[in-house]
Structure formats: structure tokens, C-alpha cells
Amino acid sequence: MLVEKKKHRVFVNGPVSPQFIADSIAKHSSKTTIGAHDIFLGQVRADEINGKTIKAIDYSAYEDMAEEKFHEIRESAFSKFDLTCMHIYHSMGKVKAGEICLFVFTSSKHRAIAFDACRWIVEEIKANVPIFGKEIFEDETYIWKENKDTPALKGEKTNEQTNNKN
């Protein structure tokens, strides 16, 4: 029987702090059945677009809908992979270039599962969660971010899909 995991709040105001990440890792040291962790940290880039440099991204979302999508991804990941633990946190509001906006943390008995699950979760978030990023330039003008570099959005196969031909 599949036991549904408790819903937890995914969104944090502003950037995900290095201390928050370190504290999350430290909390798992007492869980001795875990043999591997994998972490994905999404960082805001200072991309140059049309001669202007991005200084920050202001994230917004349909929060209830996004939280529900995060929960669906979480439940699917626990069904698909033999995970011991998983955490997802995403920023809301302004995050400066160089700061962390997405923190995905997977734990399992074995590294391959933690790696594969973390990659799958990140791709699912990028493809399916209604989060919007207003890319703010140094001159305070902005454009809305497009997730064009995501294989799942472009219909490309990820390494997992390429390697698993079943």
C-alpha cells in the first residue's frame, strides 16, 4: 500500500540561503539507512540578452496550483524511485544573480537512485510547475523568462531516457 507523503511548503521568500542548505544536509546525518544524497542547486545567472545583463529574477507563481504540482512530482518520484527522503524548495520574489533559487535534495540507499531521481525531479519541475520569472536587467527593464534550455520542454531525451530503453 502506497502511503502518501505529508505535503510541505515548497516556496521560500527570496533566495535559498547557504545556511538553509547546510542545515538540511546536517539534519540527515542521523538517518543511518541513507547511503547517498544528491543535490541540485539552481542559481540565477547574469545572462546577457540584447546587450543587457540580468541582475535578478523576480519569481511569482499561481502558488496553490504550483504547490499541488510539486506534491504530484514528489509523489511520483517516491513511486518511481526507491528514495528514503526528498526535499524541494523554490524561491519566490527577487533573487539576485549568483544566488540560489531552487534546491532539490534526494536521499537513497544507493547513489544511482539519488542521482536519477534528482535529475528527473528537476526536469519535471522545469516542464510542469507554473512558476514565472521576470528577468530584471541592470537598467531596471525586464523580460519574462522562458525555460528553453530544458530537454523535457524541447522534447529532447534526457540521459535517463536515452539509457533506459524499456
Mean pLDDT by 10 residues, the chain (166 residues): 63 98 94 96 97 98 95 97 97 99 98 98 97 97 78 45 39
- Predicted pLDDT at 149: 55
Is 136 a domain residue? yes
Range of the domain at 121: 11-25+33-146
8 A C-beta contact, residue 81 and residue 117: yes
Is 41 a domain residue? yes
Q: Is 156 left (phi over 0), alpha (psi -120 to 50) or beta?
A: beta
- Predicted pLDDT at 160: 41
8 A C-beta contact, residue 117 and residue 138: no
Is 139 a domain residue? yes
User: Cell 540561503, residue?
Assistant: 17
- Predicted pLDDT at 145: 86
- Predicted pLDDT at 9: 86
Q: How many residues does the chain have?
A: 166
Tell me the three cell numbers of residue 32: 543511518
Q: How many CB atoms lie within 10 A of CB 69?
A: 19
Give the Cα separation of 91 and 109 in Å (integer): 29
Give the Cα separation of 144 and 118 in Å (integer): 26
Give the Cα separation of 100 and 39 in Å (integer): 12
Is 3 a domain residue? no
Is 153 a domain residue? no
Is 20 a domain residue? yes
Is 60 a domain residue? yes
Burial of residue 13 (CB within 10 Å: 0-12, 13-18, 19+) is exposed
Give the Cα separation of 135 and 21 in Å (integer): 24
Is 21 a domain residue? yes
Domain count for the chain: 1
Specify the CATH number for the domain of residue 42.
3.90.1170.40
What sign for the dihedral angle of Cα 65, 62, 129, 93? negative
